[in-house]
Chain A
Amino acid sequence: DGGITQSPKYLFRKEGQNVTLSCEQNLNHDAMYWYRQDPGQGLRLIYYSQIVNDFQKGDIAEGYSVSREKKESFPLTVTSAQKNPTAFYLCASSIPRQGSWANVLTFGAGSRLTVL
């Protein structure tokens, strides 16, 4: 079945450590996204990529980094520069909007990061 796989589902990190969250999709989607979800808030966009080897900052990119070396993969690194990294992280993908209004995102199951 096609879908998006995020790993790990739960991750604990000590302050000052970098961690990388994995996101893999087999939907053949060109665009991929990383969102952060905090209690009482909507999803906030961290980074997105519309094509391999290209990505753009979202609304809250500080303290995060990404790479897009393969179409299927879009890993997110939470660096020690991120001051409040404890959150639920969601990866998504879509067929990018090409003259059409449709832009439905397909989400993974999420990764819960807790900083100790």
Chain B
Amino acid sequence: GENVGLHLPTLSVQEGDNSIINCAYSNSASDYFIWYKQESGKGPQFIIDIRSNMDKRQGQRVTVLLNKTVKHLSLQIAATQPGDSAVYFCAENRRTDKLIFGTGTRLQVFP
């Protein structure tokens, strides 16, 4: 899309498969993490969040896993659908009002 990166890491999955999108965060002091989905031509939309005192949180078809030891965050999407095609961003929060966003991963779903 016009408003998202042309050189982003891309994950291609077949419809119905599970998707795993990974994110490495930078600061061990970060205590809150969010995943956003951005479709072409639109602003980012909130998907799911997790606190640093949790390792896993589940939503509808999505699960976020947090590994604080290696500063790694992942978003799992079950039974991926064509409507899941978008760019996915992770963001970390360090007890300030400013979120720090990752560069994003493009998810492509093919039939």
Contacts and interface: CB of A to CB of B under 8 A. Distances in A.
Contact of B103 (A35, A42, A108): A42
Given A37-B4, A41-B5, A112-B3, A102 B49 contact: yes
A103 B97 contact: yes
Contacts of A107: 36, 43-45
B51 to A, nearest CB: 6
A37 B36 CA distance: 14
A50 B8 CA distance: 32
B101 A104 contact: no
Instruction: Give the interface SS of chain B, mostly helix, strand, loop or mixed.
Output: loop
Contacts, number: 74
Contacts of B32: 101-103
Interface of A: 4, 6, 31, 35, 37-43, 45, 48, 50, 58, 88, 90, 92, 94, 96-97, 101-110, 112
Chain A CB within 10 A, most for which of B2, B6, B100, B101: B101
B111 interface: no
A104 B46 contact: yes
A90 to B, nearest CB: 5
B93 interface: yes
